[in-house]
Amino acid sequence: MTAASPGKRLHSATRLLHAGAPALRDGAGPVNVPVVRTSTVRFENTATQADHHHRRTAGERVASYGRHGLDTHRALEDAVVGLEGGHRAFLTPSGLSAITLVLLALLSPGDHALVADGVYAPLRRVDSTLLQRLGITVEYFSPTHDDLASRLRPNTRLLYLESPSSLLYEVLDLPALSAVARDRGVTVATDNTWSGGWFHQPLSLGANISIQAATKYISGHSDLMQGVVVVDSPALAAKLSTAYEALGLTIGADDAYLALRGLRTLPVRLAQHQRNATAVAEFLQQQPQVSRVFYPALPTDPGHALWKRDFSGASGLVSFEFRHATPAAANAFVDALRLFGIGASWGGYESLALAAQPERLREHRQWTGDAPVVRLHIGLEDPRDLIADLAQAFADAAPAL
């Protein structure tokens, strides 16, 4: 049996490990997909070139130019499609560009889009700087507080979600929301970065499009910027493809390789992120300075039941709210951490802490608190060291908390 031949009956971790493996030539070959760097494609003759061009125009994934990517890109696309269970994947230079691609591919002047209020915040900048200029209306709503059906308009083209939400990890009822939207012919897209695509398959729960910042868990090593979009139908693939080409999007073969390498260990890394994050979340719950811990895997989390139904695990993101601290005291707590890095982003092997900006919290309609919130990304360190670091930061910043 060759590495490239595993069939559908294999379990998903096995398929992920072998996805895109190169075929053997003359009975031997490398384990890994080669990194095929190129700016263009060479053809034997003009007829072959024309044939490639026509097949590409008809929607086939063949390259007639460097921007289309070759073997490394195809292998990563196949692996991501296998992971998310869709029809076709698009690779973009960042997670944000993946979001923008979806918005520009599906929305035209005069269209209306409903966007969940807890989405990755920079989407609002795409709206205010680009979509508004194009005459596209974006309406933010609370998917847990508002009635979706009453917000749909005749010109609503897109329902855009993220579950769990950024920062506070509000779990959405994706099947119910998708059913309402699809009933009215509205396309459903959702940001699946939190689960890495491993703990949650939105396309099997009613979404049409799943978006991920591969920058986070797919890469897993804090050394890559990348986005992926997976669509569930040839019709959506054609729409995405048109916008993708018009925007001149592509990624380098080295980056495609790094993402593919990250994917091989996604299940084992995420299992450890979950173990460590659960230990940290349980520790945080016991701290008198902490009033609330946001982590859907905790039985006390309001989204726990939905999470249990629609997810097979939880990631390394844990946020918590201080009981009394001022924003300055929350900053002092973060500054007192020694092992945690201070910074944005997450999904790498290392732990990071970030004091949430109050204006970001206020974007979440369900947020009624006024105490500061700190977001932790729990990495793959020994959780005892992470807990010890948090404990010393609580002690160090104690007078202010």
Ligand X SMILES: *Cc1c(COP(=O)(O)O)cnc(C)c1O
Q: Does 225 bind ligand X (CB under 6 A)?
A: yes
**How far is residue 286's CA from residue 289's CA, in Å, rounded to a whole number?**
9
Q: 10: which strand partners?
A: none
Smallest distance, Å, CB 194 to ligand X?
6
Q: Which of 79, 96, 209, 337 binds ligand X (CB under 6 A)?
A: 96
| Pairing verdict, β 227-231 and 88-92 | antiparallel
Give me the residues paired with residue 376 across strands: 318, 353
The one catalytic residue among 216, 257, 375, 389:
216
Collapsing DSSP states into helix, strand and coil, what is residue 228?
strand
Contact between residue 275 and residue 313 where contact means Cβ atoms under 8 Å apart = no
Torsion of CA 227, 232, 235, 238, to 10 degrees: 20
315 lines the binding site for ligand X (CB under 6 A): no
94 is a site residue for ligand X (CB under 6 A): yes
Residues forming a β-bridge with 188: 159
Binding mask 338-377 for ligand X (x = CB under 6 A): -------x--------------------------------
Euclidean distance between the first and final Cα of the chain, in Å? 61
Q: Does 43 bind ligand X (CB under 6 A)?
A: no
Residues 24, 26, 32, CA angle at the centre, nearest 5°?
Answer: 25
Pick between residue 254 and residue 385 the one whose CB is nearest to ligand X. 254
Burial of 292 (0-12, 13-18, 19+ CB in 10 A): middle
Question: Count residues contacting ligand X (CB under 6 A)?
Answer: 14
Q: Which of 15, 71, 120, 396 is catalytic?
A: 120
- Choose among 61, 72, 1: nearest CA to 32: 72
Q: Which of 193, 195, 278, 315 binds ligand X (CB under 6 A)?
A: 193
Site string for ligand X, 150-179 (x = CB under 6 A): ------------x---x-------------
Select 35 or 126, whichever has its Cβ closest to ligand X. Answer: 126
Q: How far is the CB of 326 from ligand X (least distance, A)?
A: 27
| Distance of alpha carbon 193 from alpha carbon 216, whole angstroms | 7
Instruction: Give the whole-angstrom CA distance, residue 86 versus residue 238.
Output: 14
Site string for ligand X, 108-147 (x = CB under 6 A): ------------x---------------------------
184 flagged as catalytic: no
**Is residue 336 near ligand X by the rule CB under 6 A?**
no
Among 116, 213, 281, 298, binds ligand X (CB under 6 A): 213
Contacts with ligand X by CB under 6 A lie at: 94-96, 120, 162, 166, 191, 193, 213, 215-216, 225, 227, 345
User: Which positions are annotated as active-site residues?
Assistant: 67, 120, 191, 216
